[in-house]
Amino acid sequence: MTFAELVDRVASNGPFQFLHTVLLGLPIIGMANHNLLQIFTAATPTHHCRPPPNASAGPWVLPMGQNGKPETCLRFAYPSNASLPNDTQGATEPCLDGWTYDVNSRDSIVAEWDLVCNSKKLKELAQSIFMAGILIGGLVLGALSDRFGRKPILTCSYLLLAASGSGAAFSPTFPTYTVFRFLCGFGISGITLSTVILNVEWVSTRMRAIKSIAVGYFYTFGQFVLPGLAYVIPQWRWLQLTVSIPFFAFFLLSWWLPESIRWMVLSGRSSKALKTLRQVAAFNGKKEEGKKLSLEEIKLNTQKEVALAKAKRSVADLFRTPVLRRMTFCLSLAWFSTGFAYYSLAMGVEEFGVNLYILQLIFGGVDVPAKFITTLAISYLGRHTTEAALLLLAGGCILSLIFVPADLMTLRTVLAVFGKGCLSGSFSCLFLFTSELYPTVTRQTGMGISNMWARVGSMTAPLVKITAELKPFIPNVIFGSIALLGGSAALFLPETLNRPLPETIEDVENWSLRTKQSKQEPEAEKASQRIPLQPHEPGLDPS
């Protein structure tokens, strides 16, 4: 009996699983709010230069830009009725006295700290610093969770996100705000890592995919909640505080969650694991089954997993053989391009000129059919084909935005929403595909490296947007090209549909060898059929 079958016998598919899913899923709603929060807290309101202190000396007129609208970063150096030499008339200067913002626009960090014109790049920098927190948090907290357990890291991450998110709401300066946002990203990484592991721990193998999708839909629901909160709460500080306070409650509720059974067994805490299993069995009405379970049975059924865990594995193992090297390179590129392109669209809602709240609802809503269609595609078409198609379609949509005029806003929005849906599906496919490609002995390491590349991509995306100051089309060229490159790399990955999970590196090599042989056999048969019959010599039997 495997460990999963042992858990299935005594403690799976009952009221505990439902409550466990809810307790893990509710914070994911808030996590989605934090990931996309700057769409609203960093919205750029309509603005123009503030007139100088001596503006009462005469009327001031704003210079007009090439788009026919008033300049946002320049003003005339003198009043329009000033008597000046011809070479001085029409002279412009930067906004030396700050900016005036539309009072009807929502309050944001952009208006509070003047993150416009030459300081515009600081807005994108703030989002990159938040993503850097997620990246570094993954590297640090992943190792700590292996040492101290999944539950303590999850509990501390809830508290860290609650405290740092609330601190960001009271930040007096922009540098202080970015420090707190970095800590928010750090905490979110700990929540993600622990939730992914604990989420599938207490269900049967056949229910794991369903439970993973269920928790994924909590994130999708969070994308619906955020625009509603932002509409009701137009002040950025109050909005920041509103999405952070609930994590204090999640911190308290997390004490009810049990620790990972596998971690307890692998850490030599088998007695505590047995006690937890019996408590969950009793909660699910299987008290008698729980009593039948013994410490010796747990140790017997986890011998293989303990042996695999004790075998020290490193990142170098992912490059040990040619097949693993190719898989690691292609998967890293696919993960990077997905995170890179996804956040270019998810955080670029403001660029499409439609109502910000409605557009965010549409961007969040597209995830529902996208994940459903992706689930069907990977089940019938396969992982390899689905992943490549999703990234190639997303790259095509992003590149198409370059050629669609700015006044065709509806078409631009449709392309962006479709591309974002493809990238959302790509994330869903990659999580499954990656776990099926890597053997058991390197699966955790492979998943960690893959997720790291997705975070690097999401951290880099806001910085690439700064290149729009050179030419407006440059960011979309970069985002679209990288997505196409990731889709092309996915074509070189083997298919895993209806294949057993590999246990060792040798399994992966043998699997690849059998795949090549199966492809060569039909080709050899076709080649033999094309060989022309040679005329036989007289007197010889042609048979």
Q: What is the mean pLDDT of the chain?
A: 82
Q: Which residue in this structure is represented by tokens 């459903």?
A: 372
Distances (CA, A) of 389 to 289, 378, 381, 420: 47, 11, 11, 14
pLDDT at 176: 95
Of 71-75, 252-256, 514-518, the range with the lowest mean pLDDT is: 514-518
Return the amino acid letter for 87: D
pLDDT band at 192 (very low <50, low <70, confident <90, very high): confident
Average pLDDT over residues 397-425: 90
For the question of whether the overall pTM of this predicted structure is more than 0.85, the answer is no
Of 202-206, 420-424, 441-445, 480-484, the range with the lowest mean pLDDT is: 202-206
**Which secondary-structure segment (H or E) carries 93?**
strand 92-94
Of 36-40, 349-353, 407-411, 472-476, the range with the lowest mean pLDDT is: 349-353
φ/ψ bin of 295: left (φ > 0), alpha (ψ from -120 to 50), beta (otherwise): alpha
Of 93-107, 358-372, 497-511, the range with the lowest mean pLDDT is: 497-511
pLDDT at 237: 94
pLDDT score of 4 more than 70: no
Q: What pLDDT digit, counting tens, does each position of 219-237 carry?
A: 888 888 989 999 999 899 9
Tell me the two tokens of residue 230: 């932002």
**Which secondary-structure segment (H or E) carries 486?**
helix 474-490
**Which secondary-structure segment (H or E) carries 76?**
strand 74-76
Would you give the DSSP letter of residue 354?
S
**Which secondary-structure segment (H or E) carries 24?**
helix 15-35
pLDDT at 537: 43
Q: What pLDDT digit, counting tens, does each position of 290-332 carry?
A: 777 777 777 777 776 666 666 656 677 788 888 888 999 999 9
Residue 308 in contact with residue 436, Cβ under 8 Å? no
Average pLDDT over residues 354-382: 85
Residue 54: CB partners within 8 Å, gap ≥ 6? none
What is the per-residue burial (b if ≥16 Cβ within 10 Å, else e) of 182-218? Answer: bbbbbbbbbbbbbbbbbbbbbbbeebeeebbebbbeb
Distance CA(333)–CA(325), nearest Å, equals 12
φ/ψ bin of 62: left (φ > 0), alpha (ψ from -120 to 50), beta (otherwise): beta
pLDDT at 1: 54
Average pLDDT over residues 461-485: 90
pLDDT at 541: 42
pLDDT at 395: 95
pLDDT at 89: 52
Q: What pLDDT digit, counting tens, does each position of 265-287 carry?
A: 777 787 888 888 888 888 878 77
A 10 A CB-CB count for 400 gives 17
- Percentages of the chain per state (helix, strand, coil), in multiples of 5: 70, 5, 25
pLDDT at 490: 92
Pairing of strands 99-101, 47-49: antiparallel
* 3-state secondary structure at position 374: helix
Q: What pLDDT digit, counting tens, does each position of 122-131 carry?
A: 988 998 999 8
pLDDT score of 539 more than 50: no
pLDDT band at 540 (very low <50, low <70, confident <90, very high): very low
Tell me the two tokens of residue 529: 């059929």
Cα 331 to the center of its chain, rounded Å: 15
A 10 A CB-CB count for 98 gives 11
A 10 A CB-CB count for 418 gives 18
pLDDT score of 162 more than 60: yes
**Largest interatomic CA distance in the chain:** 119
Average pLDDT over residues 49-78: 72
Set out the domains of the chain in order of their start, with CATH numbers: 1-50+90-311 (1.20.1250.20), 313-517 (1.20.1250.20)
pLDDT at 311: 63
The torsion angle over the Cα atoms of residues 242, 248, 254 and 255, rounded to 10 degrees, is: -160
pLDDT band at 517 (very low <50, low <70, confident <90, very high): low
